[in-house]
A = this chain, B = another copy of it.
Amino acid sequence: MLWPPARADADTGYDAWLRYAQLTPIERAKYNALPASVNVLGDSALLQTSQTELIRGVRGMLGRTLRSEQGPPTEDSILLTTIDRLRTVALSSQAPRSLEPGGYWIGHAAIHGHDCLIIAGAGAHGALYGTFDLLRRIALDQDVSRLRVTEQPSAPVRWVNQWDNLDGRIERGYGGRSIFFDNGSVRADLSRAGDYARLLASVGINGCVVNNVNATPKILSANFIPQLARIADAFRPWGVKLAISINLATPEALGQLDTFDPLDPNVISWWNQKVDEIYRQIPDFGGFLVKADSEGKPGPSRYGRTPADAANMLAAALKPHGGVLLYRAFVYNSHLDWHDLKADRAKAAYDIFHPLDGKFAGNVIIQIKNGPIDFQVREPASPLFGGLQKTNQAIELQITQEYTGQQRHLVFLVPMWKTTLDFDMHVDGRYTPVKDIVTGRSFHHPLGGFAGVSNVGLDLNWLGNPMALANLYGFGRLAWNPNLSSAAIVDEWTRLTFGNDADVVRTIDSMQLTSWRTYEDYTGPLGAGTLTDILGSHYGPGVGSAEHNGWGQWFRADHLGVGMDRTVATGTGFIGQYSPEVQKQYETLQATPDNLLLFFHHVPYTYKLHSGQTVIQYIYDSHYEGVDRVKQYVRDWKSLRGRVDEQRYAFVLGRLKYQVGHSIVWRDAVCTWFYRMSGIPDSRGRVDHYPDRTEAESMQLQGYAPVDVVPPEDASGGKAVVCNTAGQTCAARFQFERPAGWYELDVQYFDLNDGASTFKVFVGKQLVGEWIADDDLPNWRIGGDTSTRREIPGLALRSGDEIRIEGTPNGGEPAPFDYVSIHKTGP
């Protein structure tokens, strides 16, 4: 089927940034001179893919079907080829002599007297990437009539990781179930896998680890490898290599050996045979990703071996076939003693891997998370990037928003990633930004690059939110060229995703570019980490959960101060893992930037930031500012009504409105927690003082009963009300006693994931609002994960009005709610 179906219907987000939406007549006219045929010169299947894609894209955007031709052009043509083949027909072309694998040249030349627009790859991959480049330029409404472009990727490894389990669930996935696996097997229909590979290829991604780093041995069983080969078949037309996560204990776990000691000859032989078995079925197999000795996973420590022992053993098996071995540096002790002020999880990766530098084989790559903890809303760059000069590295970035709002909150992560990529590690006193280290440039390694944990799923829009696709797009673009700016990347993405309307582009670009800072402002302040429930869903507020346990995500707050002292002088010494120049940036309070203050230092709440604010007042202010910015996003988005297709407009609007409610939950929880801990009131009188609110527990209750919420700061007043009389409707009422006028009434309620209660709101006898609590939030308990809000605008209220909330429980959900907030509005 060469022919994509016409999409007359609203935009589901499935086509992401490859919509090839029809251009306006004026835009189309710009491409009237584009040749009418597209010739393939060369034998690779990727050239055929390129040709099909070019025809598809031009047809979508320009309404024309280019002629599909093979061989040298016999008329003016777009020529898809490789640089070597180009030289056989156009000796005089200005294509460069050599390019990195994946690189390409686009330019014009006469071939046999015909004017040709040439896309010539270093190999066939390059031609495919060049094809997507040309299509992107057309979608961006750029002139291509005198195009001359030379592009090559920053690094050879540009992979995504999927944390898919074989049963179809995805660990930390927020876009539906696995596109690869279901019920213990590879899916029969892999069309989504092929479409995913196309998306990946369009931004230059060339590999995909398809299963969870918490890998099951079963992935390597003899009957599973042919199934993996089917995924590889779906990837292959797009030049995406299949790779897998493996469990180091597999030789033992599959019952074939009684050890998995990486130095045991039987183990070595087992892996050699297994790798041979894989390559017989998947000749272009990419390699293995290993999570070992981490969070309970088996590893070489069991036998007193090092990560290098394990990695090199596997690398040796892969080497003859050209495969690579990615070994995750995410190894730490999750049973730290929190009483020990010197204990520091952040130190683990460097402590373990730095001593092994130089001991890893040439096809081993150490995969290092951007920060030393775990994908928090802000972390400094991992010192390990500077600690491995003789070792290939890849940076692991998380596209799926585990700690950053799980695709329910708008958070464009590229600016965050760039703070790490652009961070200068000052290795040996040289300019050594992380991007130059992981791409191999700083220490002259041929291997290395980028791993993005993407976790797309079966949702039509891949990630559960069309706006979140900007992160997948941005990851690919950064992996190709980490010097691209966040603004340039998001501007491309917005235009490709929503079209070139200037207001739309300006508005969405601005929302995306400010969104990370906004999220940080109402969640984790000053480098303290994302103050979420780290023991559960990693989603809603759970401030205290990081403290007083062995997981080491401490921010060490007490009644006097807050922050983790990681200095060399008085703290854990973590800062000592950096180069002397970087140490100078963090060791002193004076030098440390405000936004990482609490990551590196313990300070009193009254400590004054560089900005002049006290820490405690900054915490309050930033949380209120963050919420206000989310409210502004809603207004900004509403200004695009009618300029964005209704389906995505309505979906995103719903998400942004949800985000307003949940950002208030975050704000109140964090502010209340720090207010209770510090005893220092908000100088602006907002925290713990909500004149617009009526607490549910203070209303006149019929059937409803108050319950304590744990932790208490996750509900206003620490309490909610629940209706525990199954099959009955409960009510809560109170009297409105303010001047007549137009008001908005907001109900803060809890939407648990094991029921769908019905709520009704009455003013006197008049029903003014009604909804079913059927959102899909990640908890079945009343608390910060499930607290959400319903807005009822435009109510004419009069003093003396009775407001009544009726709740009808369903399933395990007792129609719980927290409070009602009423504020004045215009008519």
**A residues whose Cβ falls under 8 Å from a Cβ of B:** 1-3, 8-11, 31-32, 34, 36-37, 59, 62-68, 75, 642-643, 645-647, 650-651, 653-654, 740, 742, 763, 765-770, 792-796, 798, 826-827
Q: Taking CB as reference atom, which chain B residue is nearest A28?
A: B827
CA gap between A742 and B28 in the complex, in Å:
14
Residues of B within 8 A of A826 (CB): 32
Inter-subunit contact A63/B794 (CB<8 Å): yes
Residues of B within 8 A of A67 (CB): 763, 766, 796, 798
Inter-subunit contact A827/B64 (CB<8 Å): yes
CA gap between A31 and B798 in the complex, in Å:
20
- What is the oligomeric copy number? 2
Residues of B within 8 A of A68 (CB): 765-766
Q: How far is the CB of A504 from chain B (nearest CB, A)?
A: 11
Residues of B within 8 A of A11 (CB): 646
CA gap between A646 and B740 in the complex, in Å:
41
Q: How far is the CB of A761 from chain B (nearest CB, A)?
A: 10
Q: How far is the CB of A71 from chain B (nearest CB, A)?
A: 13
Q: How far is the CB of A35 from chain B (nearest CB, A)?
A: 9
**A66 touches which one: B10, B740, B796 (CB < 8 A)?**
B796
Inter-subunit contact B8/A64 (CB<8 Å): no
A sample of 13 inter-chain contacts (CB < 8 A) reads: A2-B767, A8-B654, A9-B650, A10-B10, A31-B827, A63-B793, A63-B794, A64-B827, A67-B763, A67-B766, A68-B766, A75-B740, A645-B646
Residues of B within 8 A of A794 (CB): 59, 62-65
Known: A768-B65, A827-B64. A796 touches B9 (CB 8 A): no
Q: Taking CB as reference atom, which chain B residue is nearest A35?
A: B796
CA gap between A10 and B2 in the complex, in Å:
29
Q: How far is the CB of A643 from chain B (nearest CB, A)?
A: 8
Inter-subunit contact A10/B827 (CB<8 Å): no
Residues of B within 8 A of A646 (CB): 8-11, 645-647
CA gap between A770 and B826 in the complex, in Å:
55
Residues of B within 8 A of A792 (CB): 65
Inter-subunit contact A742/B796 (CB<8 Å): no
Q: How far is the CB of A70 from chain B (nearest CB, A)?
A: 9
Residues of B within 8 A of A650 (CB): 8-9
Residues of B within 8 A of A770 (CB): 1-3
Q: Taking CB as reference atom, which chain B residue is nearest A649?
A: B8
CA gap between A36 and B763 in the complex, in Å:
13
Inter-subunit contact B796/A37 (CB<8 Å): yes
Residues of B within 8 A of A2 (CB): 767, 770
Which of A10, A34, A651, A769: most chain B Cβ within 10 A?
A: A10
Inter-subunit contact A796/B64 (CB<8 Å): yes
Q: How far is the CB of A310 from chain B (nearest CB, A)?
A: 51
List 20 other contacts, CB 8 Å, given A9-B647, A36-B827, A67-B798: A9-B650, A10-B646, A10-B647, A32-B827, A34-B827, A36-B742, A59-B794, A62-B794, A63-B793, A63-B794, A64-B742, A64-B793, A64-B795, A65-B766, A65-B792, A66-B796, A67-B763, A67-B766, A67-B796, A75-B798
Q: How far is the CB of A652 from chain B (nearest CB, A)?
A: 11
Q: How far is the CB of A815 from chain B (nearest CB, A)?
A: 17
CA gap between A37 and B767 in the complex, in Å:
14
CA gap between A708 and B540 in the complex, in Å:
72
* 10 nearest A-B pairs in the assembled complex, by CB-CB distance: A36-B796, A64-B794, A8-B650, A68-B766, A32-B827, A3-B770, A63-B794, A2-B767, A67-B796, A10-B646
Residues of B within 8 A of A642 (CB): 643
Residues of B within 8 A of A66 (CB): 796
Residues of B within 8 A of A32 (CB): 826-827
CA gap between A3 and B769 in the complex, in Å:
7
CA gap between A65 and B763 in the complex, in Å:
10
CA gap between A51 and B31 in the complex, in Å:
57
Q: Taking CB as reference atom, which chain B residue is nearest A646?
A: B10
CA gap between A768 and B798 in the complex, in Å:
66
Residues of B within 8 A of A64 (CB): 742, 793-796, 827
CA gap between A400 and B794 in the complex, in Å:
40
Q: How far is the CB of A393 from chain B (nearest CB, A)?
A: 46
Inter-subunit contact B10/A65 (CB<8 Å): no
Which of A11, A64, A65, A740: most chain B Cβ within 10 A?
A: A65
Inter-subunit contact A65/B796 (CB<8 Å): yes
CA gap between A84 and B3 in the complex, in Å:
68
Residues of B within 8 A of A643 (CB): 642
Q: Taking CB as reference atom, which chain B residue is nearest A639?
A: B25
Q: How far is the CB of A223 from chain B (nearest CB, A)?
A: 36
